[in-house]
Structure 1
Amino acid sequence: MSIPGATNIDHVAYTVPDLDQAVAFFTNILGADLIYREGPIHDPHGDRMTQQLNVHPTASCRIAMLRLGPVTNLELFQYEAPGQRRLLPANSDWGGHHLAFHVTDIEAAAHYLSRQPGVRLLGSPRTVDDGPIAGNRWVYFLTPWGMQMELVQASPALPYESTTRARRYGPAPAWHDCVNAVRTTDSPEAHHA
């Protein structure tokens, strides 16, 4: 069973403390393309924000949509709202999260990130020794505002593949090698920041 008519994940979304900082980080450091910006969005005299977004009725937000590689759209929100919690969840908290990037050379990617202002690697790349993804390499890192992310370098053959026909997606073609192979937005605001 699945959602009727479902074809793919459209986007993932995160709320960030400073939209301009986050857009600059994703475009200038991680290679995303900015598709559009929107907002402020608010409903000062109604309850649309609560009914449609599950936030305080007087909340206001600005949004940016970015493209990360061939298959991932990333929506970033910056909210202003009464009673707003301004702490990022730990991975172990309910709502904890991270965004993982597949790379072909984890050592080179980790070295690159370690030289970026405000980025903090959480250790050095590790290899998974056993289990369904034995052979994969990984390392977590934090963005300048503290959002958790991960680098992953996949092993060419993984143990779980012998037990199921299902497969994880990837690796995909290099991000900018596939720009012309997928639908893009040709609007005036669609540009690489």
Structure 2
Amino acid sequence: MTSVPGLLGVDHAGITVPSVPAAVEWFERVLGCSSPLAFGPFSDPTGTFIQDLLDVHPRAVVERIQHVRCGDGPSVELFQYSSPDQDRTFRRNSDYGGKHVAFYVRHIDKAVARMQALGAQKLLGPLAVTDGPAAGQSINYFRAPFGTYVELISYPKGMAYEASAAIPLWDPRDNRP
């Protein structure tokens, strides 16, 4: 239950990338995602609509928006902007504005091996979490070529926190075919 009337859950997560076509190609090739929706461009060459709507420079242009769907979860919405004040640095997870997208996998070792075989830039792992409330999960991060991190996560037997949780986290294992 939330304090926002009618809130059901996550619809999508949005990330800005240097090239939507290149990011879509990576998601399709490396993760096997599909891309059911694309639109744009959007701009306001004289007014403040884009600034008022999205809190960006008034001359920013949303060149393209495209959704990718990976498995049975929410989609990832990819944005490609051009803007006079655009910051093109790769934000680390520890930076303000740092971000990652996590995908649940049934077999983390197989998924990590597959992503590596397809050229994804793997960080340390898979790391099995053995202590604390997240014990039971295994994770591995990858640095994607479009400026964000992609995490694979698996907890086939659940996590330790579940033994005493009054409200469990959403569990992608409940979304089984």
TM-score (norm 2): 0.91
Which residue of structure 1 lines up, in the alignment, with residue 118 of structure 2? Answer: 116
The structural deviation recorded for 1:108 is 0.8
1:35-54 pair list within 5 angstroms: 35-54=36-55
- In 1, distance between residues paired with 2:95 and 2:114? 29
Structure 2 counterparts to residues 21-170 of structure 1, below 5 A? 21-61=22-62, 62-117=64-119, 119-168=120-169, 169-170=171-172
Q: Which runs of 5 or more residues in structure 2 are unaligned?
A: none
Distance 1:120 1:32 in 2: 18
For residues 23 and 154 of structure 2, the distance between their equivalents in structure 1, rounded to whole angstroms, comes to: 24
Post-superposition offset of 1:143: 1.2
* Number of residue-to-residue matches in the alignment: 174
**CA deviation after TM superposition for structure 1 residue 145, in Å:** 2.8
Residue identity opposite 2:142 in structure 1: F
When residues 47 and 146 of structure 1 are mapped into structure 2, their CA distance, relative to the original with a 3 A threshold, is: closer
Indicate conservation of the 8 Å contact 1:70/1:172, yes or no.
Answer: no
Query: What one-letter code is carried by the residue in structure 2 that aligns with 1:97?
Result: K
Shift of the alpha carbon at 1:155?
A: 4.1
Check whether the contact 1:10–1:72 (CA below 8 A) recurs between aligned residues: yes
Q: Offset at 1:66?
A: 2.2
Letter paired with 1:153: S
User: Residues 142-170 of structure 1: CA distance to partner in whole angstroms, max 9, x if unpaired?
Assistant: 11234211111104132211221322222
Aligned residues: percent identity?
Answer: 36
CA–CA separation in structure 2 for the residues paired with 1:22 and 1:157: 31
Query: Does the Cα contact within 8 Å between 1:127 and 1:136 map onto a contact in 2?
Result: yes
Do the aligned residues in 1 keep the contact of 2:73 with 2:172 (CA within 8 Å)? no
Highest RCO, 1 vs 2 (Cα 8 Å, sep ≥ 6)? 1
| SS in structure 2 at match of 1:75 | strand
TM-score (norm 1): 0.84
Deviation at 1:96, TM superposition (A): 1.3
- SS of the equivalent of 1:4 reads coil
In structure 1, how many angstroms separate the alpha carbons of the residues matched to 2:158 and 2:116? 29
Letter in 2 for 1:58: R
Following the alignment from structure 2 to structure 1, what is the Cα–Cα distance between the partners of residues 94 and 15? Answer: 17
Is residue 34–residue 64 contact of structure 1 (8 Å, CA) maintained in 2?
yes
